[in-house]
Amino acid sequence: MKNKRIYRGMFLSLALIAGCEGVKDSPSSADEIKDSLSSTLTEGTAIQLGETITIDGEGATASNQTVRITQAGTYLISGTLEDGQIQVEVGNQEEVNLVLNETQISSTTGAPILITQSAKTTITLMEGTQNVISHQMVMNDGEEVSKEEKAAIFSQDDLMITGTGSLTVDAKTYNGIVSQDDLVIEDGNFVIESANHGLKGKDSVVIEEGTFKMTTKGDAIQSDQEADEEKGFITIRGGDFDLVAEQDGIQAQTKLVIEGGTFKIETGGGYEAGAVKETTSQPPFNRGASATAETATTPSAKGLKAGQELVIEGGSLTINSADDALHTNGSLWMNGGEVTLSTGDDGLHADETVEVNGGTVDILTSYEGLEGQVVRVNDGVIRLVATDDGINAAGGMDGSGFMSFFNPTTTSQQEGESGWIELNGGWLYVNASGDGLDANGSIIMTGGVVIVEGPTSGHDGILDFDETFDLQGGQLIASGGVGMLQTPSETSTQPTLVIQDSFESGELIHIQSEEGAEIVTFSPSKASQVLIISSPDLKMESTYRVLSGGTYSVEATDGVYQDGTYTEGEERFQVALSDLITSNGTLTGDGMRGPGMEEGPGMRGTKDMREAPEIKDHPKMEMNSDLKTPTLNSF
């Protein structure tokens, strides 16, 4: 049958799972599929809805306000059906295509479109058409509702939506569009308002293109299959998304992959509605007393959420979330794209590894910027503002950052692992009211540019680590209060200058060699008592001039001036770089000392700490062609 062959190709091209078969690839492109489809839209059985339903062709019958489709084929549906239903029940190896052409269907008793059995069903939105599906059930007290009744469009099997027309889904009682297997959206323009979830594919959701404006009281997009670890994933390759959700924006039980698209996501009322967390002006034993981790009765309101892996390969995302903006119980990989985040909790959170290999991360406001057992920056541009720690490598579960003092034996620590930070490349700017960089284990820096504007209070540190800070390369500029001061350790191979003085907010600070070669020109955004500088340009047994004031010929980036000309201000003093960690005098912080700090000139880091963790290669991303979702090699 001609139509059957065409629609089989449509499904295979988008890697839908049919019954017990694995996902297959099709040689056809999306454009070829559209061309083939457009030539067949005039073929099939015509169904004209209204007070009287007329059917021209085979495979469908009408009784009262119900249309039953019992044979494979194409069905062209037009008109208005009030308080009625389109039912599809064909053989489990048969395919159906429902072509909506200015179609309006409403129901108060069940799903307006109900697919109870088919191999695959396609809903095609004809170009230029406006189609509306409305679901508002009337229930008696204590009445049980079946899953088939809990959606405006419900499919027990694979469901695909394609075409360039428009679909409005008004789901006042339950979910918008649900497939109990795989949900694939190839194109279309969607407006969805839902009393629960907007789009749900229990086994998977794959979105190729389309525009989506959604307002939901549950998740906007969800896949929640728990029984099979190869399912429960979401892949989005393109589209334009405007999502407002009271719970999670996009939530996958296993893997969530964003390859492209433009996203504007608000969850839980936005970051201002997030849980109130204390700033770090209090000592550590009081910090976090009012901050509470998510409980079983607290709805999750995260921007993107994945149970196993969250991967950003591309796209542009703007997220305003009450809870974490990007969250996974496993590992998070930022390989490309642009994200702009405002969050009431963490910007990027992973219970295991947060790794940035490219792209741009701009965290406008957060409780903690990046949090994971391991936080690794290999490339990309990251800018973040945090009311607590900028980067927190605490290990363990969500909430471990602000509750770890009271719950020091998190899962990872019970297994003998401690958190660490690796800085290998890229550009990182941190503006934190709590600790700037905080590692329960060690900090390792081999490259890149790292600017840390830390706390001005005495109860937090610009740098905070329990073991060592092994600095081997790159440029470090760190400023803030002198309390709780720690510096890079003597396990480092690159020298560091520690300058203690009073620096005003916005004051230009310039460090140069005796010969006039520029090392660093920096202007802190906060009043600071100490400046920590490390650069490959620093040489042992050399003397450096520290000047303030003056002018610079180009504008600063994150407080750093470079590639311009400095006009000299006032010389404050000179420092001879005699030790690996050299200060301009005796530094005495007003807080507790930790590893990497020792009283007296030179500020030598301690040598008796445990060995820093080995720098590990980040796992290579490999695509599983069957699942169309990434897998990761083991560490």
Q: Binning pLDDT at 50, 70 and 90, where does residue 144 land?
A: low
Strands 443-445 and 469-471: parallel
Q: Tokens in use for 178?
A: 């649900």
pLDDT in tens, 577-617: 999 999 987 555 443 344 444 333 333 333 222 233 333 33
pLDDT at 17: 30
The CA distance from 516 to 493, in Å, is 24
Residues near 601 by Cβ (< 8 Å), separated by ≥ 6?
583, 585, 586
**DSSP codes of every residue in 15-50:** T---TTSPP---S--HHHHHHHHHTTTTSSEEEEES
DSSP secondary structure code for residue 635 in this structure: -
Query: For residue 486, is pLDDT > 80?
Result: yes
* pLDDT tens digits, 57-82: 999 999 999 999 999 999 999 999 99
Sign of the four-CA dihedral 264, 311, 330, 400: negative
- Contact between 169 and 191 (Cβ < 8 Å): yes
Residue written as tokens 């034996």?
409
pLDDT of residue 609: 26
Specify whether the CB–CB gap between 133 and 105 falls below 8 A: yes
Phi-psi domain of 514 (left: phi exceeds 0; alpha: psi -120 through 50; beta: other): alpha
339 in helix, strand or coil? strand
Tell me the mean pLDDT in the region 198-223: 98
| Chain center to CA of 323 | 12
Answer for the pair 458, 484: CB distance below 8 angstroms, yes or no.
Answer: yes
What is the pLDDT at residue 606? 30
Rounded to whole angstroms, how far apart are CA atoms 130 and 165? 6
pLDDT of res. 141: 57
CA 421/CA 42 separation, integer angstroms: 61
pLDDT digits (tens, 9 = 90+) for 370-407: 999 999 999 999 999 999 999 999 855 554 433 333 33
Strands 449-453 and 211-216: unpaired
Helix (H) or strand (E) run with residue 5 in it? helix 2-13
Question: Contact 231/210 with Cβ under 8 angstroms?
Answer: no
Which SS3 state, helix, strand or coil, does residue 557 take? strand
